[in-house]
A and B are shown apart, each in its own frame.
Chain A
Amino acid sequence: MDNRGRRRVWLVVAAMLFVVAAVLMFTGQGEAPAMETPKVEFPRRMRAPERARAERRRTQVLPVQVDAGTQERARPRDPVLAALPRGEGKTAVVIEANALRHSPIGELLLDCLMRDGGKRLEELRNLSGVDPLQDLDRLVITDDGMMLSGNFGNAKFKELLGERVSMDYGEGARVYEPGDMTVTRPDGSTARRRSEAAVATWNNELLVIGKSPDEVKAVVDRVEGRGPDEPPAISEGSTYGEMYGVLSVDQLARLLPKEQAELAERIRQVAQNVELHVDASGDVAMVAEVRGANGDEVTDLGKTLGAALSMARIKAQAEGEKDLAQLLDFARVQPDGTSFKLEMAVPLDVIQKRLAFCKEERSAAEAAER
């Protein structure tokens, strides 16, 4: 081949290679917008909507005590916060049921709740007159019992608890002592059940369940401003996330699996209390702030926890548990003097995958009903 012919071949080859390269790069990179890498937002401080929410909840007007010379401690004006146990070392966890219900994870949980086509929910609604999806605002778990807040104007407390010994208490509360109650079954028949829990309702806003009438009365006292002056277990500034609260060290240690008994023991020794915040507005992210008296010991505990998480992640990776490994990817410990923050997260898509069966079963149940 002469030089001219050879040159022509090179030019044709070049053109062909450029076309092939363009096709390969186009296909290789893909033209769809780039996939966002999972980025989890951890609940570390109050955000504007949460601040507004806290402000809206300041509904309680407390009598102003005029006492010259003594500075009155600011009492919480949010009835739920006011009802919380007071002082150090107590456990109080608030679940923002309404916010959770309207979060992506809430939708998934609702699917799970409605797996039977919503029959049980309907039963509960008929029985109690309360629609948990509409009327429930917050659910509080404490060492002594449970509290529900929301709009209980339609609640059938009297029908449900009418047989028990009850009394009016304070300004707007009614306390029901433990006793029998009649439950109507879906087929119309009735059954009697014994409940050992004392219950108090307050202004159709709060439902307090406790071990004894005195305990629920103490809660009502706190709500109505007759409680101790100590600050509540959760301050208003800490009411961020879909779930938040403080856990006593014992409670936290009890949450750990048996294999981590040594770690649980160290937590008992070093930590004083743990503040917890869970954000479910997107991915589920948790921040736990562990406080202790001795800075070095707390830092050491942080390192141990970090190492435990790392080991768990390595184990998950080794065992091919991708979801768990991905979950632990976000886990970290941030030491800060006498406290450290433990951050963990579960990306939403992982939960979605895990709970996908709920949606399928709900759809199947609803179709069968139709």
Chain B
Amino acid sequence: MKPVLGIAGYVLREAMSRKFILAFMVGITLVLTVVALSLRIEVVDGALAASRLFGEELRNSIRSVDVALRPVYQAAAFLVFYGGILFGIVACSDFAPSLMSPGRIEHLLALPIQRWHLLAGTFLGVMVLALGGTLYGTTGLVLIFGVKAGYWTAGPLIAGLLACVGFAAVYAVMLTAATLVRSAALCAASGFVFLVGGIIAGYRQQLTPFFEEGLGREAFRAVTLVLPRLSALAMAAGDIAASTPLEVHSLGMLLLGVLVFGFGALAVGFWRFEGKDY
């Protein structure tokens, strides 16, 4: 486990030195600051009486602040989930290809670490990074709404954590793609494809009737059976953030399933990486 942590540390240190990541953190901070300074929420005994954004009064009905903020939290959860994964795809697409670049990979492979340690460490490092960004952004959001509305909920935070699990599955695929072709663009493209596939997989039940009965439908069902059900996870994240009942049967199982899919993709990456010459 020590080499994995070592590589994770190496990846994290490398990431922290990237200006892009720093720009992202500054961006999140700016968004949070703007929201914090421009949003005025008037709460009377737990009811949202009025809200103003940039001084303009928003048409709002007076109702329980947690109920009134549900759509806001739900939107925030979706934003955190999909926005986070999208940003993760773009920001992290270069890590693995750059780690496998000539002059670096030979040096790393000559070190006394197993090849799979290298991939697992990269995966872990990127996940820690994703988790850090998510915690920073969502905690800020929770704090702003908490202070402004007096309503404290860990919903957005939980949504962010779910997004991290979704991103784990997507990034595992990206890492595996990097072992096949060392290209940041292809790495990102594979991430996008699996994100879209994951959204479709979450709605497979609703989409199945659009396919002709027979081979086409069965093929769709078979493919979407294996893909990570990201949209289902996003819906669950939205539900949790808005404190509404979950639509999925068991969030734990779904979460574990998406994570296990990620590990499966990672195992394919290990298989390819073990047999690759650099």
Contacts and interface: CB of A to CB of B under 8 A. Distances in A.
3 shortest interchain CB distances as A-B pairs: A28-B254, A306-B62, A24-B257
Given A10-B274, A22-B225, A332 B248 contact: no
B47 interface: yes
For the complex, would chain A's binding face be called helix, strand, loop or mixed by DSSP majority? helix
B228 interface: yes
Interface residues of A, number: 49
Contacts of A352: none
For the complex, would chain B's binding face be called helix, strand, loop or mixed by DSSP majority? helix
B202 interface: yes
A14 B250 contact: no
Contacts of A328: 64
Nearest to A331: B63
A6 interface: yes
Given A303-B44, A310-B45, A17 B261 contact: yes
A27 interface: yes
Interface in B57-83: 61-65, 67-68
Contact of B247 (A13, A24, A35, A313): A35
B202 A29 contact: yes
B47 A307 contact: yes
Given A10-B271, A29-B229, A24 B260 contact: yes
Contacts of A308: 45
B264 to A, nearest CB: 3
Interface in A110-162: none
Contact of A21 (B202, B261, B270): B261
Contacts of A16: 264
B256 interface: yes
Contact of B47 (A13, A24, A25, A306): A306
Contacts of A331: 63-64
Contacts of B202: 29
Interface of B: 44-49, 61-65, 67-68, 116, 201-202, 205-206, 225-226, 228-229, 232, 244-245, 247-258, 260-261, 263-265, 267-268, 270-271, 274-275
A331 B68 CA distance: 10
B148 to A, nearest CB: 16
B62 A334 contact: yes
Interface in A14-49: 14-18, 20-35, 37
Contacts of A356: none
A14 B226 contact: no
Interface of A: 3, 6-7, 10-11, 13-18, 20-35, 37, 302-311, 313-314, 328-329, 331-335, 340, 343
A13 B275 CA distance: 16
Contacts of A335: 61-62
A262 B251 CA distance: 46
- Which among A22, A29, A306, A333 has the greatest number of chain B C-beta atoms within 10 A? A29
Given A7-B275, A303-B62, A306-B44, A37 B245 contact: yes
A302 B268 CA distance: 61
Nearest to B62: A306
B61 A329 contact: no
B68 to A, nearest CB: 8
Nearest to B203: A34
A6 B272 CA distance: 11
Given A10-B270, A29-B232, A334-B61, A307 B45 contact: yes
Contacts of B47: 303, 306-307, 309-311, 333
Contact of A30 (B64, B225, B228, B249): B249
Given A20-B257, A329-B67, A332-B62, 4 more contacts: A24-B253, A25-B228, A28-B248, A333-B62
A21 B64 contact: no
Contacts of A24: 253-254, 256-257, 260
Contacts of A332: 61-63, 67-68
26 contacts: A6-B274, A10-B267, A10-B270, A11-B267, A14-B264, A14-B268, A17-B264, A18-B261, A18-B264, A20-B260, A21-B226, A21-B260, A22-B225, A22-B257, A22-B261, A25-B228, A26-B225, A28-B253, A30-B250, A35-B247, A303-B49, A306-B47, A306-B63, A311-B46, A314-B64, A329-B67
A27 B205 CA distance: 13
B274 A307 contact: no
A271 B62 CA distance: 18
